[in-house]
Each structure stands twice: as C-alpha cells, then as structure tokens.
C-alpha cells in the first residue's frame, strides 16, 4: 500500500491518490462523488477509478447526499468507519463534535424531526438556530441533514443485510412512519425498499452485518483484553477463531430488548461480522453503534500514530476496548479498585450469579444478563457483602446504580466526558482513577488519562511520593494529547520507549 501523509481537508489531489490506490487507511475520512454517475463512494470502492475531472470530494456522507449524490451499492458507504476530529479546542468545533456523537446513537432520536432537533439543542445548552448555524459553518450541512443521512444509511444496511420486515426497518432506523420512510428513500435514493433489498447478497441468512474499520487493527489483542475480563454466563471468547459473543439488554427509546450477539473478525478484509439474535433485531442500528464502540472500529490509526508512534513503536494496531454497556463497565471498574483483574472478575461473576437475570440462548456459555441498575440500586447491602464486596464499594455501586436509573448520569459513548467525569467523582467511592477508566472505555474518550495508575508510573519510571508521581505522570501525558487513552493502552502493553535526551550540541543557542 502506498505511503502518504494525511491529506488536509482541502487537499483533493491527495484524496484522489488515496482513491486510485484504494488505501483502506482513508476509509470513511472522505467520500468521492462521481459527477458522471451521480454516485458517491468510499475510497476503497472496487469499481473502475473515475477520471479526476469527474470527482468531487466530501468530508462526510451527509455532504455528498446534500450535493445530490446517491450511495454506491457496491462499496456501501454505510459500512465505512466514522471520521472523528479531536485535535481542536475551538468552542464551535467542540459543539459539533459533541452533537455528532449524540447523533450517532439511533436510540436517542426516534420520531419526528423537529422535536428531535429541539431536544438535541436543549441537551447541548444552545438554541436550535445556533446549532444549525455552527453545523452549516463547520460541515456545510445542518444537524437534521446529518440525522437524515444516518437514518437512511442505517435503513439501507438493514434492507440489504437482514430479512427484517420493511415496517420494522423503518421503525428501527428512527422514522416516525412507514410513509415517511418510503418517501425519504424515493426522494434521496430514487429507490423503494424492495429495490434496495434486491441489491443485497442474501448470503448472510438475514442476520449478519458487516462492519468496517481502518487498518491496522490487532483483533487478537482486542479479544485477549476482553478474554481476561470475561464473565461466565455473560460473554465468551474464542481467540484462535477470533470470535466473541455475549448476552445483552438493550434499551431503544422506551423499549427494552434482550438477546445475544456474536462477532467474527475478518482481518484480511478489514471487517467484523455481527450476528444478532431475533430479540435484538428491532434495535439493530443501536446495537451496531454499540459494537463499533466496543471494538473501537472508528479509530484513526494515522492520526493517533502521528502523535504516539515515536514513543510507542509497534502499537499502531492496538485499539482501546470499549464497553457494550456503560453501566456494566462502571460497576466492574468499581469492583476493580485496588485489586487484580482476576479478583475483579471473580467479584463481578458473583454479582451476575446473584442479581443477573437468566436468559435462554442456543449456547450453554451464555445464560445470564448483567444486573440492571434497578436490581443493584435496590439490593440489600448485606447481600452484596456476602459476595465479598466491601462496604465502600457497596456504597459506590448503589450510588452509581441510582444515578443511572434516575437518568441523572449518562454512561453512553455519546456522553460529555468532562461533565460525566465530574459527576462520577461526585459519587461516593469513585475517585479520579475510576472516573478516567470509565471515560476511556465507556464514554469512548480518546484523551482519558488516569494519572494515578501505578502501572503507568512503573512503565514511565516515575519516582517519589504518590502526589509527586501523579504530577509527573500528568506532565508526561501532555505530549500525547488528544490520544492519551491510546497511550495508556500501549503503556499497559509494555510498548513505551523513553525518548533519549536531546544532544546539547544540536540545540541552537
């Protein structure tokens, strides 16, 4: 694969070079609209490369669709990883970033468009007019157009890869009615649901969904991390086969769906196959979004390695394992305070056995759901104590459960990390390390930095008192912004290479 620098947003010649070489590292970072066909494609599309004069380049699918282009039925833009920007502290850019993360979650915005946009603006603490103005200035599209594009691409994926009834597809994709769904498909794509369904391969049995990523991704390392923390009855891992599967309770709007899903990694094709049980199919777009967060499929190795590569050689393929459920991850983080990973797993397994609900699955390895916030909030402290959970952690788990159950605390990947970390630390028994760990995995914050982590201190060779080591760790981490979560994972993997001091003779007076 040809090496090249990351193209700037206006460097269309570099984008055309990536298109000509079908460079998978740029998948999802831009889309190409072909004026001679009216179709927009991913950089990895296998069709004949169009002439440069016929190409228009867009940062996102919504911009391409606003310009009148339809998604390619071969490369399927809905399979591309999302593009994320984290390098700026400009207030408008941060607003767009947070809004885009909120729009990622299909469960957040079902129903009519107007109320959905008003709820989005209210949640962000701005007017809907200001939100539209900032989106237009930064992205060239409105937040509603972004939402429409994501709904339509989600529907396109469900129609192509599953046998869900059209009505169920419309509802799962967030459309208020089947009539609006059909009208949107005809207006934007010039197709009806039946025509889109015919474009599918039909080889997946109606349940398998392909999810792409930008290479490289070390699937074995990701699964080893999850295997070290798996819970009997809840999840299972087959490392040689690169498979992972687990049970899940998924809330989609006001409805709760339970079932199981499985993942099969296919590294040579830069994709993972998602298989979902019937119980989770009505919430499939929300499940897809959570799986992308769990496996960190939207990471941009080029941007991350530009900052970390010199200090952590060999770590380009490492991803930060996320969480399929933020509450579950947070409870397990509390149980892991000041104990080994194995000890935390033992406590979590006891918690599942005592408070988790049984679930019937075709696999004997999957038999229970992780306890709900309601179950743990109302648990008898004495029952928690019988499991070996000390009082301080009992109080922390129950305070956490009450906050999540009352919706006072959001632990999804769309949550604002700074505010959520502050809210977590305001709860009893949750300190800076736990809050940062939750932010790193559950909130998908790429810049989380648990400065009190002993493994970090040891890897960085820090000395002195606890306070002195934490200060030195905080200082060391400044060089790795905004990708400090990835620096943490690479440090835990033993990849940190101290940089030699500068040669005094090379320093200009």
Contacts 24+ apart (CB under 8 A), 391-397: 392/428, 392/429, 393/334, 393/335, 393/337, 393/429, 395/428, 395/429, 396/334, 396/427, 396/428, 396/429, 396/430, 397/331, 397/334, 397/335
Residues 6+ apart with CB under 8 A from 171: 110, 282
Helical H segments across 283-416, by residue range = 284-295, 301-308, 326-335, 341-355, 373-377, 381-386, 391-405
Q: How many CB atoms lie within 10 A of CB 193?
A: 21
In whole angstroms, give the CA distance from residue 441 to residue 295.
Answer: 10
Distance CA 248, CA 258 (A): 6
C-alpha 434/C-alpha 333 separation (Å) is: 6
Residue 71 parent element (H or E): strand 70-71
Helix (H, G, I), strand (E, B) or coil at 457: helix
d(C-alpha 227, C-alpha 273), whole Å: 19
Residues 480, 486, 488, 492, Cα dihedral to 10°: -130
Taken as a whole, the chain contains a residue count of: 509
Residues 90 and 78: their CA atoms lie apart, in Å, by 29
Does a cis peptide bond (omega within 30 degrees of 0) precede residue 392? Answer: no
For tokens 């909030």, the residue is 377
- Nearest one of 364, 338, 359 to 454, comparing CA atoms: 338
Which residues, 6+ apart, have CB-to-CB distance to 422 below 8 Å? Answer: none
Which active-site residues does the annotation give?
Answer: 41, 453
3-state secondary structure of 94: helix
d(CA 414, CA 138): 20
Cross-strand bridge partners of residue 210: 273
First to last CA, the chain: 42
- CA–CA dist 462, 421 (Å, integer): 25
């Amino acid at each position: 694969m040809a090496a090249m620098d990351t193209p700037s947003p206006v460097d269309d010649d570099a984008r055309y070079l990536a298109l000509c070489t079908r460079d998978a590292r740029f998948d999802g970072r831009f889309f190409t609209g072909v004026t001679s066909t009216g179709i927009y494609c991913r950089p990895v599309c296998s069709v004949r490369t169009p002439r440069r004069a016929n190409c228009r380049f867009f940062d996102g699918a919504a911009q391409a669709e606003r310009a009148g282009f339809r998604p390619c039925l071969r490369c399927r833009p809905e399979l591309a990883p999302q593009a994320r920007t984290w390098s700026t502290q400009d207030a408008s850019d941060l607003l767009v970033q947070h809004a885009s993360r909120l729009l990622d979650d299909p469960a957040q915005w079902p129903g009519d468009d107007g109320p959905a946009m008003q709820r989005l603006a209210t949640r962000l603490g701005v007017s809907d007019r200001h939100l539209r103005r900032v989106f237009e200035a930064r992205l060239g599209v409105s937040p509603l157009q972004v939402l429409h594009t994501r709904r339509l691409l989600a529907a396109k994926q469900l129609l192509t890869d599953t046998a869900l009834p059209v009505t169920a597809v419309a509802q799962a994709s967030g459309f208020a009615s089947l009539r609006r769904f059909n009208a949107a498909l005809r207006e934007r794509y010039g197709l009806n649901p039946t025509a889109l369904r015919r474009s599918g391969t039909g080889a997946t049995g109606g349940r398998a969904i392909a999810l792409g990523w930008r290479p490289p991704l070390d699937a074995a390392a990701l699964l080893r991390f999850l295997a070290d923390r798996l819970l009997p009855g809840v999840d299972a891992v087959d490392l040689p086969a690169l498979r992972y599967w687990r049970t899940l309770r998924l809330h989609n709007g006001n409805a709760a769906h339970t079932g199981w899903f499985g993942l099969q990694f296919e590294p040579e094709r830069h994709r993972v196959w998602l298989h979902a049980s019937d119980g989770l199919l009505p919430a499939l777009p929300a499940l897809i979004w959570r799986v992308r967060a769990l496996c960190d499929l939207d990471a941009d190795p080029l941007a991350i390695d530009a900052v970390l590569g010199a200090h952590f050689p060999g770590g380009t393929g490492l991803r930060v394992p996320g969480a399929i459920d933020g509450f579950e991850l947070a409870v397990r983080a509390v149980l892991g305070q000041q104990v080994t990973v194995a000890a935390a797993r033992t406590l979590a397994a006891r918690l599942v056995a005592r408070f988790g609900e049984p679930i019937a699955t075709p696999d004997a390895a999957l038999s229970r759901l992780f306890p709900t916030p309601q179950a743990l909030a109302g648990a008898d402290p004495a029952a928690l104590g019988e499991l070996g959970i000390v009082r301080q952690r009992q109080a922390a788990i129950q305070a956490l459960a009450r906050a999540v159950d009352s919706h006072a605390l959001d632990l999804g990947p769309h949550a604002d990390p700074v505010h959520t970390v502050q809210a977590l630390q305001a709860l009893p028994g949750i300190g800076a390390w736990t809050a940062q760990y939750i932010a790193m995995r559950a909130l998908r914050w790429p810049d989380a930095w648990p400065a009190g982590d002993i493994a970090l201190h040891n890897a960085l060779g820090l000395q002195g008192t606890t306070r002195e080591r934490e200060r030195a760790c905080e200082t060391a981490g400044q060089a790795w912004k905004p990708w400090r979560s990835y620096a943490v994972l690479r440090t835990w993997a033993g990849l940190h290479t101290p940089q030699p001091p500068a040669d005094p003779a090379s320093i200009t007076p």
